[in-house]
């Protein structure tokens, strides 16, 4: 599973960044906003895994650091 994510990282990275870009700073700085972002990232990754012929296997996303510029 991790190999799949590592192989697909170049395709997934812009998709993940797009999810964060859709939310404003105020939302991202709130706990609920980060939970929303985590859920959106999980859904996006699983959707694309399905498109690429894999079973969706992401059950949760944990944001460990966050930088807003």
**How is the chain split among helix, strand and coil, in percent rounded to 5?**
65, 0, 35
Q: What is the pTM of this model?
A: 0.82
Residue 68 confidence (pLDDT): 64
Look at residue 5 in the predicted model and tell me its pLDDT.
84
What pLDDT score does 37 carry?
A: 93
The answer to whether the CB of 42 falls within 8 A of the CB of 61 is yes
Per-residue pLDDT of the chain in tens (69 residues, 90 and over written 9)? 678 888 888 999 999 999 888 888 888 889 999 999 999 999 999 999 999 999 989 999 998 876 666
Q: Given this model, what pLDDT does residue 29 score? A: 87
């Amino acid at each position: 599973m991790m190999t799949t994510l590592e192989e697909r990282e170049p395709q997934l990275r812009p998709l993940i960044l797009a999810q964060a870009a859709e939310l404003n700073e105020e939302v991202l700085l709130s706990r609920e906003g980060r939970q929303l972002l985590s859920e959106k990232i999980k859904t996006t990754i699983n959707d694309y895994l399905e498109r690429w012929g894999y079973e969706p296997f992401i059950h949760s996303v944990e944001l460990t650091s966050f930088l807003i510029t």
